[in-house]
Amino acid sequence: MVDLADVVVASNRGPLAFRRDEAGALEPAPPGGGLAGSLRDLLEGSGATWVSCALSEADRAAQDAGLLSLPDLRLRTVAPDETTYDLAYDLVSNATLWFCHHHLFDLTRRPRFDQRWPEAWAAYRRLNRLIADEVAASAPGDGVVLVQDYHLALAPRLVRQARPDLRVVHFSHTPFADPGVLRVLPADCRRELLAGMAGGTCGFHTRRWAQAFEACCRDQGLDPPRTFASPLAPDPEKLLARVRSAACQEAGERLLARTGERALVVRTDRVELSKNVIRGFWAIDLLLELRPELRDRFVHLAFVYPSRQRLPEYLAYRAELEQTAAAVNERWARGDWQPIVVDVRDDPDRSLAALRLADVVLVNPVRDGLNLVAKEAPLVSERQASLVLSAEAGAAEELAEAAFVVNPFDVLQTATALADALTLSPAERQRRAERLRALVLAHPPRAWLDAQLAAAEG
């Protein structure tokens, strides 16, 4: 098996992020999204090298001040100029590739490939090259390179061209677009994208996404490279250590003081169109209409945190989800009870505390590579929480038998599943919670990393 000291990981977001406090001093920022946090848990102390982008002015200053370091992990960052980064991250990665892979297009508005596109694609290419050059410069002879996610789809081929001795894997944390949807990209870009990924062996969280990728390759007349499927998983011990921390325990006490004896239906997501928060609120609305006996009996906590706020779609989505929650509350609130508590704030301790205390966890994305929350919740639950889970989340492939699986577009089915989950007998609830835990533990986080190393070795 490969020695982790010979491994170079490359991702857009690195393990450490910084921001400025009110006085302008540098302070660590919470990690964004599950990928960087999970990778950090796996790689800390391993001697591996991790190449990522310095995302902000604070990150670059932290690097200059020598703050960018973790024990036994070699951190390298590249610092593209602001225009390059903004075009590559906002316009190509998030407004185009993310929308494509999640089938999120509003076909009347986006995608729009206009005069800015050639420049944006060139910036995406530049960013990928910067990362590939840094990888090529820091990888040991015959080393293994694990390139992560859609921001870096071109990097595998660039790395291989610069260093044919390296063994390269590309791992996608998103779903992969169906061939008909990938065709919205300009023809030369989609071919470059597929050929870029095919510079390595390509990994996905599920076979379904691997097959979509292979189908896209064939649709473009390319031979698909070798693919594999292996789902990411949370690290149970590290997760439980966070749950036990004073900050998380205190967050839990504050929550209980606010919600009292009522049952908790919890969601924790980025404010993200694919997470389908608004249909979740519609399902709560319908549930209260159809099942009067459940009124005043539960609170839906929607602890969502800001994400990609430079994209107008995300700002609009945030406003709409707040309005929808307000409308549902206006319809049903009585006395000191309001059915939905929505709070947009980046507070990982509070999110974890809510999962710990949840009676039901709602994970209903319209499409999701995996969804780590669905796999964290069973590990931290202290109330044998039930899981209402979208069939379109990669995690459903592992957890379906013990979750309430729903079509994320079907609000009535989601409302019914929430009602069933809230009224389960204690014995059935315990049986399902134990099974969920066992299913999550069956595929430990190290197995995900090992699958990539094995794929690299061929």
* Furthest-apart CA atoms within the chain: distance in Å: 69
Q: Are 302 and 328 in contact (CB under 8 A)?
A: no
Q: Show the tokens assigned to 412.
A: 């009535």
CB of residue 193 to ligand G6P, shortest distance in Å: 16
Alpha carbons 210 and 201: distance in angstroms, whole number: 11
Q: Is the dihedral of CA 255, 256, 259, 262 positive or negative?
A: positive
CB of residue 331 to ligand G6P, shortest distance in Å: 33
Q: Which residue has the tokens 């009676």?
A: 359
Q: Are 387 and 403 in contact (CB under 8 A)?
A: yes
Binding site for ligand G6P (CB under 6 A): 13, 32-36, 149, 173-174, 307-308
CB of residue 55 to ligand G6P, shortest distance in Å: 8
Q: Which residue has the tokens 């699986």?
A: 405
Residue with Cβ nearer ligand G6P (29 or 327): 29
Residue with Cβ nearer ligand G6P (42 or 288): 42
Residue with Cβ nearer ligand G6P (371 or 414): 371
CB of residue 71 to ligand G6P, shortest distance in Å: 23
Residue with Cβ nearer ligand G6P (120 or 264): 120
Residue with Cβ nearer ligand G6P (170 or 429): 170
Q: Which residue has the tokens 């980046």?
A: 346
How would you write 225-276 as a 3-class SS string? CCEEECCCCCCHHHHHHHHHCHHHHHHHHHHHHHHCCCEEEEEEEECCHHHC
The number of beta carbons lying within 10 Å of the beta carbon of residue 412 is 14
Q: Show the tokens assigned to 407.
A: 């079509």
Q: Show the tokens assigned to 394.
A: 């990669």
- Which runs of consecutive H residues, i.e. helices, occur in 333-443? 348-357, 373-380, 396-399, 411-422, 426-441
Residue with Cβ nearer ligand G6P (62 or 284): 62
For 163, phi and psi rounded to 5 degrees? Answer: -140, 80
Q: Which residue has the tokens 């009535």?
A: 412
CB of residue 32 to ligand G6P, shortest distance in Å: 4
Residue with Cβ nearer ligand G6P (11 or 201): 11
Q: Is 185 helix (H, G, I), strand (E, B) or coil?
A: coil
Residue with Cβ nearer ligand G6P (59 or 149): 149
Residue with Cβ nearer ligand G6P (307 or 324): 307
Alpha carbons 446 and 234: distance in angstroms, whole number: 10
Closest-approach residue to ligand G6P (CB): 33
Alpha carbons 138 and 136: distance in angstroms, whole number: 6
Residue with Cβ nearer ligand G6P (252 or 369): 369
Q: Are 146 and 456 in contact (CB under 8 A)?
A: yes
Q: Show the tokens assigned to 108.
A: 């009347």
CB of residue 355 to ligand G6P, shortest distance in Å: 17
Q: Are 421 and 388 in contact (CB under 8 A)?
A: yes
Contacts of 430 (CB under 8 A, 6+ apart): 384
Residue with Cβ nearer ligand G6P (53 or 433): 53
